[in-house]
Structure 1
């Protein structure tokens, strides 16, 4: 959902396709790029490159470059970019190349700031009306870099340079979180409050006024609200915190789960124990077992005794397992997995054939995919459950990476986080279809997980993720144990 909204935003801001390009033709191009066979893709790439000799506008070049990128025809894409940057040195293509290759590749904050200043000097924001979001992305990255360095003053300054209000509901969060991690609550609090207030503005709009921008802005509401209210709670300002939460639950009741922990903490601060207990019970029943110490204490406080607590606790867990089993039924399939042979981090081959006789969990992910990354502590815990089970193998399939040096980046990411994962690279294209494994499996978004039985049959397909470690452990256990059972198609 978030991906679709972002595409809509980019289209609206003019950063992907120009309006004057024939949209019907573009749709045909992308149909081929996303679903055509290798021959049709090659034919389209050649036709686009030949057609480019007649282009009279930068927008035409940008369209062709984007299609070539989707087709993964890097040689033609780079060649066309080189022509376009020479023809339009002050245009969007040259600017985007600078942002990608200079700003985002700068590792030190000082280098990032130098690149940003060069960016706004050579390509002033005023020269690209309607394209402010591109600059806001850069500003957010720069502000977060300063925050990580402990420079709250500059971090706050660059956040203040952002132009798009709808973006602040999400764009402010990484900077605020970096300041909070550094212990600078005083600087983080107003940042979270701004993000919260701006997101609330869009949430509160009448339904008919909620466009893609408004819907995207609302996505950051639970995170900014939770962070700001946690600060208030830490300061003992429980009643003020509760006012914000009550306001949030009226405007956006779907955010209740995201605010549940801080809501319970706030209710405890004003001695509303029964309400806090009910919220913690709901969280525990969804697999958030870290709430148990407080839940157990409240059970004793409210009942005057802990008698019956263990049975109550067991009932909640049984209900959770029952719900998980019902949930995974909707993801049940039975079909042969496509053959594959991919290289792991050591350069060794990992194939479907080599995994026969094992229940296999294929987890498709990328370093830039935050939902993927957030699920990894849970996936690590699930893998540890089966550490001594030689009949179960977890394979983390890295796919859709965007950088040329993705293998190095992936290795660094795994090493930095000390994940004991078997990682393979999904970069081997099928000679007939031109698709990598993710494409052969029909994956449209990541994270995506496939549970294979010992005969190489896909038994379950899941998309999306949760950061809830205990839930993931339980869900994976149910999926794996079910796949161990023999089933005939």
Structure 2
């Protein structure tokens, strides 16, 4: 059970008022955490473990979670579920099943069972998980706006509801359901304005999302209005995603005087969209008075990008033996890293629940496409840390529905050790995680080429890493 993931997600999703969100400090938990006497602490923990009171076992779960001891935490949670089948630990597990479910129809059934099972428990009355469960169900409904809105609208806590609409807008925007994303984030903006006449940090965060959705829906005038409002109110120098949206809107409205310096920087950083690159010549001519000298200038910008990437990557090269995993692909064929001896291999560890993993996939597809005719370069997408009942089907459906041409391998959990061997072999602490391995089986780069960069920068990074790995390997280094 992926309680750790659930705890992290709930921490991000919980949008109750400050007092309700944190709740009063539990003095018993504080006492345990601050206990310096190891003998006394051990005795207290043993007493709680043997207790027949659910509150004591819940306290113990909280203690081990605070101490990041997942093994003991899960053990106590299992004991609590055995002793109290409809208690708090069982409540947590049932919510986790709703969170993990990807099929909307099945999830709706689980939600109704969840409410029927726990809704009448007076100890759970008003618990925020009932609202959270509605969000989890809502976002499993793909291309079904009515159902998404139905479940989000059923959230009772008004503060959380406003945020939940914005979270769902992100989910649907990522799925390219732009019309629904626009509608959802507009609800968050309207609710925020109703609650306060002062423009809050949340309002500007929603306005950024709204501008992106409006751009995607080709509503450039309205989108630029919101983007300019954000730009005038905040320092967004580090918000690359918003800067991309703002620039794209300026370009869409042919506001070249303001857009041109941003276009230059975007190209040098490798973040420029297809639209920006397509209109760069027109912007150059509008600002300079003619397009004379444009071709050479454009080449110089791309050369600067290449130089920058190469200089940074040379400093980050490593030389460590790669773990020789053995896993299966989506068709059940056994695959090992050693099968690709002599080739440059790019590993990408991912999971369908991992947003940053999926955010990098359009860039990875561009890299795969670039090297598709090079027999000595291999991309392997290793699905790991699965959380669903049928991870092979889940991963395969995601790849096929998004039309990615990836070679997907399944790092399934070992039934005996409960670990994912490939992930453990590469000592992963998180995903996405990327590795570039040379022809001799040595890791040359790790966790580079993340989704923070634009498509050009990403592909340039991967290309340079491959070139450097080949060069060092051929020199025997």
Answer whether TM exceeds 0.5 for this pair.
Answer: yes
Partner of 2:338: 353
1:483 aligns to what?
469
Q: Distance in 2 between matches of 1:333 and 1:3?
A: 34
CA distance in 2, matches of 1:261, 1:274: 16
Question: Residue 438 and residue 293 in structure 1: after superposition, are their counterparts in 2 closer, same or farther (change >3 A)?
Answer: same
Rounded to whole Å, the distance in 1 between the matches of 2:170 and 2:325 is 38
**465-474 or 157-166, larger mean C-alpha shift:** 157-166
Query: Which residue of the other structure, out of 233, 243, 248, is the alignment partner of 1:260?
Result: 243
Q: 1:102 to 1:388 in 2, by over 3 A?
A: closer
In structure 1, list runs of 5 or more residues that go unmatched: 29-47, 206-216
Distance, in Å, in 1 between the alignment partners of 2:33 and 2:359 is: 37
- Offset at residue 388 of structure 1 (A): 1.9
Which of 119, 122, 133 is the aligned partner of 1:121?
119
Residues 1:93 and 2:79 aligned together? no
| 3-state SS, counterpart of residue 145 of structure 2 | coil
Shift of 1:10: 8.8
Task: Give the 3 Å change call, closer, same or farther, for CA 181–107 of structure 1 in structure 2.
Answer: closer
Deviations 1:95-127 (A, max 9, x none): 223223357536228647645754773357973
Q: What is the alpha-carbon distance in structure 1 between the residues aligned to residue 356 and residue 197 of structure 2? A: 26
- Greater alpha carbon shift after TM alignment, 189-198 vs 314-323: 189-198
**TM-score, with length taken from structure 2:** 0.75
Which position in structure 2 is the counterpart of 1:470?
456
CA shift for structure 1 position 444: 1.3
Shift of residue 457, structure 1, vs aligned partner? 0.7
Q: Distance in 1 between matches of 2:197 and 2:265?
A: 29
Note closer, same or farther for the CA distance 1:172–1:5 as it changes in structure 2 (3 Å cut): same
Moved more, 184-193 or 345-354: 184-193
Determine the C-alpha separation between the residues in 2 that align with 1:382 and 1:100.
35
Query: 1:310 Cα deviation (Å)?
Result: 1.1
Cα shift at 1:367: 0.8
Q: Does 1:107 align with 2:92?
A: no
Alpha-carbon distance change, 357 to 149 in structure 1, aligned in 2, over 3 angstroms: same
- Counterparts of 2:111 and 2:413, CA distance in 1: 38
Pairing of 1:10-49 with structure 2 (within 5 A) = 20-21=28-29, 22-23=32-33
Structure-2 separation of matches of 1:450 and 1:70: 27
Question: In the alignment, is the contact (CA less than 8 A) between 1:113 and 1:142 conserved in 2?
Answer: yes
The question of 1:305 aligning with 2:290 is answered yes
Residue-by-residue CA offset, 1:7-39 (whole Å, 9 max, x unaligned): 866999579x977453489xx9xxxxxxxxxxx
5 Å-filtered alignment, 1:35-434, equals 52-54=49-51, 56=53, 57-60=56-59, 62=61, 70-71=70-71, 80=79, 82-86=81-85, 89=86, 91-101=87-97, 105=101, 107-108=104-105, 111=109, 114-115=112-113, 118=116, 121-122=119-120, 127=125, 132=128, 134-144=129-139, 148-151=143-146, 154=150, 157-158=153-154, 161-164=157-160, 167-168=163-164, 170-174=166-170, 177=173, 181=177, 183=179, 187-188=183-184, 190-194=186-190, 223-227=208-212, 230=215, 234=219, 236-237=221-222, 240-241=225-226, 243-250=228-235, 252-255=236-239, 257-267=240-250, 272-287=255-270, 288-290=272-274, 291-427=276-412
Compute the displacement of 1:239 (Å): 7.2
Conserved? CA contact 2:436–2:466, under 8 Å: yes
Q: TM-score w.r.t. structure 1 length?
A: 0.74
Deviation readout 1:137-159 (Å, 9 max, x if unpaired): 32323444568323276366236
Is residue 460–residue 479 contact of structure 1 (8 Å, CA) maintained in 2? yes
CA distance in structure 1 between the partners assigned to 2:385 and 2:198 by the alignment: 32
CA contact (8 A) 2:342 2:439 kept: yes
> Alignment partner of 1:339: what SS?
coil
Root-mean-square deviation (CA, aligned residues, Å) is: 4.7
